[in-house]
Structure 1
């Protein structure tokens, strides 16, 4: 996986970043935690620039979210769950995953799209309930883009920082895997506390 990501980015440059991030949203097993840090490594080596690399990652991610959004909108929850049970093993998506994402969206609404973009494992799936529940395209794209900018920027900066410490790219997953989970946990806890505080104020 690492070699393929490296070769794609080396060969195609910024377009390669966008393509990889697009595919990462269609096929969850492809990890953004390896793609954007490599961009950060490449930036440190003066072979790319920050803003174009981040822009390519954001555009690829947002475009990659649309097929899942329209799948939810056109097929509906029941049909998607049937397809996930039948074919989901090829892309690591199950009917239970879709149910969980849909329940989370129903509890938290549009904000779930923003926070979902910051949580590994949820980033792709959050597009499905947005489509299932008929979320309008513009707010979906807006919340997705804002969340994606934050996530893509953090990963790119992390890769740049690791490169500045003379760390090998092959250690990216070792370093960023636990960090991304910690960040995700903090974001989820913060979001839950915000929701609880809002509910207490409304009562």
Structure 2
């Protein structure tokens, strides 16, 4: 992966680094934790400039985020509610609660979400679904991406041949985030299953209760 990414940067220069980051936004399994420090490493070797590495990787982040924003906008609230109504353990009210939360905290979610592994790409979809003003979304995405990308590009630039240390530490952070997500999903499922059982017991009790005149 690292060799291929460097080849892309050798052929396309700094715009190649931006292309890789844009693809990472659209396909999260591609690792920005490799592409960004590698762009800094390439800058340290003189293949591209440090400024262009930061500029084009941030441009790539914004481009990828905008594509996912429009995907969310195309999905829309009505389709999302219809999907939630068909998925076991989900309720339409969950969509309404999420929408209310996003109306209150959407700006912070987009800005800080750009600096959290896994959520870096996904946060753009609910922003599109809830039609956050495009100018605001673009500004917050640019600022969050600029901070994240600059940190990783500079780390690769300063570490040189040891750039892979960035990937190692970022991998730990990603595992922590994924673990938290798994625990949250498990808690949600357990709560919904327990609630469904209570509802069935309550409903059965009402049916079995003798009627009085």
- TM-score, normalised to structure 1, is 0.71
- Corresponding residue for residue 63 of structure 1: 63
For 1:40, the equivalent position in structure 2 comes to 40
Give the match for residue 132 of structure 2. 135
Cα 1:118/1:70, change in 2 over 3 Å: same
CA contact (8 A) 2:152 2:166 kept: no
Give how far 1:181 is off: 6.9
1:103-159 superposed Cα distances (whole Å, 9 cap, x missing partner) = 774562211100000111001000001011110100000000000100000000111
> Could you tell me which residue of structure 2 aligns to residue 124 of structure 1?
121
Scaled by the length of structure 2, the TM-score of the pair is: 0.68
Determine the structure 2 residue equivalent to 1:194.
Answer: none
Residue 17 of structure 1 deviates from its aligned partner by 0.8
Q: Which moved more, 1:31-40 or 1:43-52?
A: 43-52
Q: Deviations over 1:12-41 (max 9, x none)?
A: 111101111111111111111111100111
Structure 1 segments, 4+ long, off by >3 Å, are: 77-83, 102-107, 169-172, 179-182
Q: Unaligned regions of 5+ residues in structure 2, if any?
A: 84-89, 178-213
Structure number with greater Rg is 2
Figure out how many residues of one structure are paired with residues of the other and give that number.
Answer: 164
SS at match of 2:119: coil
Superimposed CA distance per residue, residues 47-103 of structure 1 (whole angstroms, 9 cap, x where no aligned partner): 2211111000011110111111011112125746999xxxxxxxxxxx9xxx8xx57
1:173 aligns to 2:167 (yes or no): yes
The alignment yields a C-alpha RMSD, in angstroms, of 2.7
